[in-house]
Each structure stands twice: as C-alpha cells, then as structure tokens.
Amino acid sequence: MRVLILGCGIRGRVYASYARTRPDLFEIAGIADPAAPEADWKDWREALEAETGAEGAIIALPDAYHLAAAQAALAKGLHILLEKPLGCSWDECLQLKAAQRQAGRLVMPGFVLRYSKLYKTLDEVLAEGKIGEITDIRHTVALGCGKAAHAFCRGNWAREEDGSTALVQKCTHDFDLIARWAAPRRMLYVSSSGALAEWKRENKPANSANRCIDCPDDVRQSCPFDAVRLYIKEKDLRYHFPDCSDEAMLKVVRETQYGECVYLGRNNSVNHQRVLMEFEGALTVTLELQGLSLHRGRTTHFYGTRGEIEAKDDSITLETFMGEREVISLPGLSGNGCTGHDGGDAGIMDEFLEWARKGSQEDFERILADAFESHRIAFLAEERRRCHV
C-alpha cells in the first residue's frame, strides 16, 4: 500500500520506519512536515493536493489538525491511520464519524497499546476467567516527572486550548483498554478531579532565570526539572528530537521552549488527575494520571470475585482466593513506551494494512465506533473535572 505520512515527528517517524521492515507491504508515497529534512512538502494540505497514487495516509500531526486532515484524506478516498486523539472534542469525533461514513474508508485509531506484548498477554490471562467476574480495576499511568515536564509543561500539550488536555492526549489509550476489559458492560457514571500543583509562576525560585542554562548553579542543582540535566546530562528524553547529538541538544536548551523554566506560568495542563467510573454489572474503575512521579509506566490491578491480577512493566501476577499463584514474566519489555510500545507500533501497522485490504464498510464503522468509547469517557470526565461546585 502506498501511504502518505502527514506529520513526521516522533510518531510519524515510527510509522515511516515500517517501510524499512516491511517493504513488501508498505511504501511511502510522500512525507509532509515543515520540520523534517526528508519531507516532500511543508504542509499536509499540499500532500493531499498532489498526485501521488497514495491509497492511504498516516496522520501524525499535532492534535489540533487531526480532524481537518482526516476529513480531507477521507474525501480523497484514502484509508487513514489517525493518531489519538481522534478529535479534540466530542463534536469533532461526530464530524469524523460523518466523514468516515460518507467516504466508506477505514479510520484506524492510533491505539498502539492494544497490540503491545503486555496487554495482549493480559487479554489471554483475563480470558481464562480464573479471577471470576472483575468487580474493580485500578489503573495508574505514571508519566515520570521529566517526561511530564517535557510534554505537559514545556511541550505540545502545555496549554489545554492548543490541542487536547493531558487526559485526552495521554489516556484515551487507557480508556480504550478499560472499555475493552469492561466490555460488554458500558460506562454508566464518571467523575473526575485534577489540578496543576507545581509548574506555576508563584513557585518560581528566587534568583532563577527564565532559561535553565542561565540559572545560577545552586538553583539549578535543587531543581528536578532543570532542562540542562534533563536534555544534556541525561539521555532519556532525547528520542523526542530528530537530532539527538550533544550539539543539537545544547541548541534545544539554548533556543527552544524545552530550555525554558517550568515556572513561567504559560502552561495550564494538570499535573495529576483521577477519574472514577462505574460500569454496568457493578464494576468500578479508577484511573490515575500522575505527572509528578518518580517512575514512568502503567500499572493495572484487577479485583475479581475469585482473585486478583496485577499487570506492571514486564510481568503479570495472578493470585486466586484458593491459593493459586502464577507469575508471567515478559523480559525485555520497557513498560514505558520508549521501545516501539513493546511491539504495539508494528502491530498496529499490520492491522491497519490488513483491514484496509479486507474490510467492508460495516467493519470500518465498527472499528471507529469501538474507538469512540474511549473518547466518550475521556470527554465526559473532562466535563466533570471542570464542573466545580
């Protein structure tokens, strides 16, 4: 399948790399991105206007462009893999649904976690039914404070009005998993609280500069969010940039928003949020999003009528009330999404190409409706978070 890459940042590059591993299945018809050196066009609109012979498009643009790009690609008759979130509001999701119906093409949601080794194995363990009926799920998404500062204070999702909120951007993945674990039970009730606790102007240390590299040494040494440490001394966040060399990172810290003090007060995304849900059949679920956390990763704990299961990083532990204990180790998993989402990135590409080839209009509508359940929960939760007494 010949496919356009619209937006070639971190996600776009990941999908583009599939052309190297499966050249028999996937060919890049062109790349649109104003910042990518390998791009054929600067803007996604130009790519869709060009004669490329493309049959599909991967939309890995900033959230705010998702709907417009999806509508244009569908109108051109392309199958699309659309990064999450599928829309920045419920109304945008409904507009996407209308465009999909009219075009009769596939909209594959970018839910890579569905295809990751940990969650695929967890599905198999849950299907055995050893813990009986699931009555309660506790799911924690810990971002790690450096990554949270990168994305939700300095980066793309610093301001809710510029795209989507932290919960919608990060956790539509998680609501998708939760909706699948709960199925066929549907959510009946949701409430949510969240707040910005730390990255606020009033917390700016005395004598601190606006750019970390200009900050006095003693202030920098006591700041866990120091950009010089996060991007130059440490290497964990470098994968966000096309050029990860020391010189490039120095330029990032000197010249871009990623070198700015986290306490400038331009951001308004939450640091932490909790969502409480009730599903049909007496199932309760709590999702916790933690930006101010030491570690990065997802942990899920299931309580059932006959036992418990915990899925974390690279292992799944099952214990029943009758004394059975089983630990499934999946060595080599990162648990934090850094290494191809532990098989999810390749898995979703396989699935996208297969459904584009074999799917009917009925399949395409079902695939999108399935993906919307996560967005319905996320947007309702956000509505409740903002509804203060």
Ligand X SMILES: NC(=O)c1ccc[n+]([C@@H]2O[C@H](COP(=O)([O-])OP(=O)(O)OC[C@H]3O[C@@H](n4cnc5c(N)ncnc54)[C@H](O)[C@@H]3O)[C@@H](O)[C@H]2O)c1
Contacts to ligand X by CB under 6 A:
6-12, 32-36, 43-44, 60-63, 83-84, 110, 112, 156, 169
Which two tokens mark 129? Answer: 């039914």
Closest approach, Cβ 104 to ligand X, in A, equals 24
What's the CA angle centered on 227, arms 226 and 231, to 5 degrees? 130
Q: Which residue has the tokens 């050196």?
A: 37
Quick check: helix, strand or coil at residue 236? coil
Strands annotated E in 250-366: 272-279, 283-290, 296-304, 307-312, 315-320, 325-329
For residues 202 and 107, give the distance between their C-alpha atoms in angstroms, rounded to a whole number: 44
* Between 168 and 227, CB nearer to ligand X: 168
* Between 8 and 80, CB nearer to ligand X: 8
Distance set, CA 219 to CA 199, 208, 222 (Å): 16, 6, 5
* Between 156 and 293, CB nearer to ligand X: 156
* Between 34 and 216, CB nearer to ligand X: 34
For residues 331 and 122, give the distance between their C-alpha atoms in angstroms, rounded to a whole number: 15
* Between 198 and 342, CB nearer to ligand X: 342
* Between 33 and 288, CB nearer to ligand X: 33
Closest approach, Cβ 64 to ligand X, in A, equals 9
Give the other-Cβ count within 10 Å of 222's Cβ.
9
Closest approach, Cβ 365 to ligand X, in A, equals 22
AA letter at 108:
M
Closest approach, Cβ 303 to ligand X, in A, equals 27
Closest approach, Cβ 275 to ligand X, in A, equals 18
Quick check: helix, strand or coil at residue 302? strand
* Between 111 and 364, CB nearer to ligand X: 111
Closest approach, Cβ 95 to ligand X, in A, equals 17
82: closest CA among 49, 242, 91, 73? 73
Closest approach, Cβ 228 to ligand X, in A, equals 22
Distance set, CA 270 to CA 148, 292, 343, 379, 386 (Å): 10, 10, 30, 15, 12
Q: Which residues pair with 231 in a beta bridge?
A: none
Q: Which residues contact 22 (CB under 8 A, 6 or more apart)?
A: 349
Which residue number has the CB closest to ligand X?
9
* Between 221 and 245, CB nearer to ligand X: 245
Closest approach, Cβ 211 to ligand X, in A, equals 21
